[in-house]
Structure 1
Amino acid sequence: MTTPLSGDSSAPPAGAQPPGAPLKPSSRFMLAYPAHAIALGFGAGLSPVAPGTAGTLWAWLSFLVLQNWLSPAEMGVLIAVSTGVGWWACTLTARHMGVLDPGSIVWDEVVAFWLVLWLVMPAGFGAQVVAFVLFRFFDAVKPGPVAWADATFKGFGWRGGFGILFDDFVAAFCTLLVIAAWRFW
């Protein structure tokens, strides 16, 4: 018998919900499985108010700390690896919660905002605030292409896990597009 850690999508870990019974995550749920801890942003997604904003703030703070030890190239590798690991973690956690795209899964905000910061740094605090506000706007309001990306990939399994990440990467792209246009003028 395989375990969820080895990729079996039919055997949720202890504390997970069966499909059709949505689960509100707790610290116990988060700590029950490594994928849960990652997908929930190591606790940021447990915020009772605006978990996506909490996840983005966690991303911002962690980026500022990580850039002290990692070169820009190493940060790029971390973002790429974190995207792949996040795809796995978000896929499993959403299925274990019984929700297609739970708001408490914030790893998508983390890696997408890391990408934004990686591409705009070095930037002063004001520019970082602008990037944060723009990203949160595109991620929360989901105008145009972000709404399309959010609606395109749904479901449990790898397609749904990709969809959890994809709309945030589109929000990051829109953020970077606005910043580039702002710098151009």
Structure 2
Amino acid sequence: MTAAKLVATLGGAGLLRPGPGTWGSAVVLPLALLGPLPCLALAALLTLAGFWAAPRVLADAQEDPGWFVADEGAGMLLALAALPVASLPGILLAFALFRLLDIAKPWPVSWADAQPGALGVMLDDLVAGAIAAAALLGLVAAFPGVLA
């Protein structure tokens, strides 16, 4: 497997069935234990790596194949970065929110998904992750300690 394919599949998680996007999101969940800033830094790093890998592994970068899950990993890390502490309720809620947004694709996730090439492949999950993070930050602000 090439380096680009390893990045795109998050070390092969994207090749798991069923639900490769769910596997791609789940594989980064343990990284929540590192804390918010490392999750944010890893999201940025995985975003850059995903943009690097996309044109190298996709014959037609206009579509987002199920096995390309670097975008799910980056978006999930954005959501995890919003957690003040890595608690099981917080991680599960971040996961559920991100997957709901990624699957349902409400606006602006749907708009991002419609963008051409690697931008569309990566951007929809980054937007979903950012929305999930904003929701988690709002929940924690409104109800301090709720995810502890």
Q: TM-score, normalised by structure 2?
A: 0.84
CA deviations over 1:26-45 (Å, ceiling 9, x no partner): xxxxx1x1101110111110
CA deviations over 1:60-117 (Å, ceiling 9, x no partner): 13x146x2xxx7555543332221121011222122x777210110000111111211
CA contact (8 A) 2:112 2:123 kept: yes
Out of 76, 83, 87, which is 2:51 matched to? Answer: 87
AA of the residue aligned to 1:128 = I
CA contact (8 A) 1:38 1:86 kept: yes
The aligned residue for residue 146 of structure 1 is: 109
1:59 and 2:28 matched: yes
Query: Aligned equivalents of 2:42 and 2:106: distance in 1?
Result: 28
Question: Mind listing any 5+ residue stretches in structure 1 that lack a counterpart?
Answer: 1-30, 155-159
Query: Aligned equivalents of 2:17 and 2:5: distance in 1?
Result: 17
CA contact (8 A) 1:38 1:107 kept: yes
Cα 1:76–1:64 shift into 2, 3 Å: closer
The aligned residue for residue 119 of structure 2 is: 162
CA deviations over 1:114-157 (Å, ceiling 9, x no partner): 12112214141111101100000000110121111111x12xxx
CA contact (8 A) 1:90 1:107 kept: no
The aligned residue for residue 42 of structure 2 is: 78
RMSD: 2.1
Return structure 1 stretches of 4+ with deviation > 4 angstroms. 71-75
Question: Mind listing any 5+ residue stretches in structure 2 that lack a counterpart?
Answer: 144-148
Q: TM-score, normalised by structure 1?
A: 0.69
Query: Aligned equivalents of 1:113 and 1:74: distance in 2?
Result: 13
Identity of aligned residues (%): 32
The aligned residue for residue 22 of structure 1 is: none
Aligned residue pairs: how many? 142
Query: Aligned equivalents of 1:142 and 1:119: distance in 2?
Result: 20
Query: Aligned equivalents of 2:7 and 2:62: distance in 1?
Result: 17
Q: Report which of the two structures shows the higher radius of gyration computed on alpha carbons.
A: 1
Deviation at 1:182, TM superposition (A): 2.5
Relative contact order (C-alpha < 8 Å, sep 6+): which is higher?
2
